[in-house]
Amino acid sequence: MIEWAVILLLFLALLALFYKYSRIQGQVERNARELFESWRWREREDIEDWKEQELRRLSDEKARILFEKWRLDEEGNIRTDAVKRSQSVTRGKVTECLIPYFPDFPYNPKDARFLGTPVDLIVFDGLSDADEVQKVVFVEIKTGKAANLSRRERAVRECIKAGRVQYSTIHQSFDEETNRLSDMGMN
């Protein structure tokens, strides 16, 4: 009977070991599954981060390539436009100087004096023919499609229209220490 008791005891010990083994095996499987899921989740995040960085890099590269293509395409247009504008400005400046000699200029070219800025010409109408000035005319010449006055040109025009014009004589005497200035209002 002792043998049966030993066998029973061994059998119970074996059952206890089997039970303990089953519990440990379940825990190991759960831990392994948790570790695997954690690893898989980190790998997915790493892959997503890599994909995002790669997409950003590729889009930046594509944008750079498109910009370079645009720049090369437009560089010629920009240069052509700059040359046209420069030619237009030069043509305008030459025209400002030569306009008194054009046939449809309404004044005697000898009466016109080129100033350039803020007005192009001042015409002393009648000065060369009769030594008598009929009127003084401020002339602004515009070429091209737009004939808009600049802010400074408009200010000069408004000053003249308002009659805020005068004639001044400045006498500089190098043997005297003072300068004499005589102003006469002009209407």
Tell me, what's the pLDDT at 142?
84
Pick from 63, 83, 101: which residue ends a domain?
Answer: 101
Residue 95 lies in a domain: yes
Q: Are residues 81 and 25 in the same domain?
A: yes
DSSP designation for 143:
-
Pick from 47, 77, 101: which residue ends a domain?
Answer: 101
The secondary structure of 5-62 as a DSSP string is HHHHHHHHHHHHHHHHHHHHHHHHHHHHHHHHHHHHHHHHHHHHHHHHHHHHHHHHHH
Pick from 66, 101, 136: which residue ends a domain?
Answer: 101
Residue 106 lies in a domain: no
- What is the phi/psi pair of residue 141, to 5°? -100, 130
pLDDT in tens, 134-174: 999 999 888 777 778 889 999 999 999 999 988 888 888 77
Strand extents, DSSP E, 84-152: 112-114, 121-125, 135-139
Look at 65 and 89; give whichever has higher pLDDT: 65
Tell me, what's the pLDDT at 158?
93
Domain with 156, as residue range(s), is 111-185
Query: Before 109, cis peptide (omega within 30)?
Result: no
Question: How far is the C-alpha of 19 from the C-alpha of 25, rounded, in Å?
Answer: 10
- What is the phi/psi pair of residue 148, to 5°? -80, 140
Tell me, what's the pLDDT at 92?
82
Residue 122 lies in a domain: yes
The residue assigned the tokens 């043997």 is 175
pLDDT in tens, 6-21: 888 888 888 888 888 8
Q: Are residues 1 and 68 in the same domain?
A: yes
Tell me, what's the pLDDT at 179?
47
123 by DSSP, 3-state: which?
strand
pLDDT in tens, 81-122: 999 989 888 888 888 888 899 999 999 999 999 988 889 999
